[in-house]
Amino acid sequence: MPFPARAVLGDSAASVLTDQARMKGTLRSVDRGTYVMHEITTTTGAVREFVSPGGAVFGVAWEGQFPPNFQQLLGPYYQQSQQASASQQPRARRAPIGIETPGLVFQQTGHARSFHGVAYIPQLMPNGVQASDIR
């Protein structure tokens, strides 16, 4: 499992150390005042967990050779975001994915061997944090 199984978006931060051990990665934590960023680096990529002063994981960013296990990463937000939009227009294929709802913002870009993405919950974002801080 290349990316976190436990630091579910919206969950508490208690699992960061568990993630580090399971991912066999190195942990770096940076206190940025309005939030703490925990970065776990492995041989094939990095995942960054953004934790509010209240201890909630409000955002996750990832980059590396493989995408994360989204079902585990997004928890209950995964199912609610699965409704694909039906359209009469020709499909965008191998295209980046973007979702912007009041409950969840998600985006992923890249190609085989290089995936980059972020997911966050707008309501859980501490005051003073910009969406572009999550990366």
Residues at the contact surface with other proteins, assessed by CB under 8 A: 1-2, 23-24, 42-46, 61, 63-72, 74, 77-78, 81-82, 84-85, 87, 89-100, 104-119, 131-132, 134-135
Query: Minimum CB separation from other proteins for residue 24, in Å?
Result: 5
Q: Which is nearer to other proteins, 51 or 64 (CB)?
A: 64
Q: Which is nearer to other proteins, 82 or 127 (CB)?
A: 82
Looking at the Cβ atoms of 21 and 55, the one nearer to other proteins is 21
Shortest gap between Cβ of 8 and other proteins (angstroms)? 13
Minimum separation from the CB atom of position 93 to other proteins (A): 5
* Helical segments of the chain, H only: 16-23, 70-74, 76-80
Residue among 38 and 62 whose Cβ is closer to other proteins = 62
